[in-house]
Amino acid sequence: MEYLFVGIGGIFGAVSRYGISKWVGRRWKGDFPLATFCINITGSFMLGLLSVLLTKGGATPAWLKSVATTGFMGAYTTYSTFAFEIINLIQDGEKGIAVRYLSGSVILGLLAAWLGLTLGEYV
């Protein structure tokens, strides 16, 4: 049953990721992979927040944790795409963009996760 719950969460996470990618892609025409960057930062924040909110008080059912974290967030975040895009930027001679993308994603991702965890403590 847990696999079904993860799959259900994954459907919504994948559709959310796809929708945000399309929305950002229609508005951003630069070389910097902004859609993936936004998804990684918001995903880091949401996973940090959910990890606190779903464990507070100990009353959250295991299936809900599976839907939200492994399912939704696992399909929503895009670190495999992130790595692929960095390699492509380097291969295309865009080393400066690759470095900004890599460092910005890691630093802001960590900050967003910390903010999510912190906010979760106060909700």
| E strand or H helix that includes residue 9 | helix 2-27
**Does 77 show up as a binding residue in the annotation?**
yes
**Does 78 show up as a binding residue in the annotation?**
no
Residue 78 burial (C-beta neighbours within 10 Å; 0-12, 13-18, 19+): buried
Residue 17 burial (C-beta neighbours within 10 Å; 0-12, 13-18, 19+): buried
- Binding residue positions for Na(+): 74, 77
- Binding residue positions: 74, 77
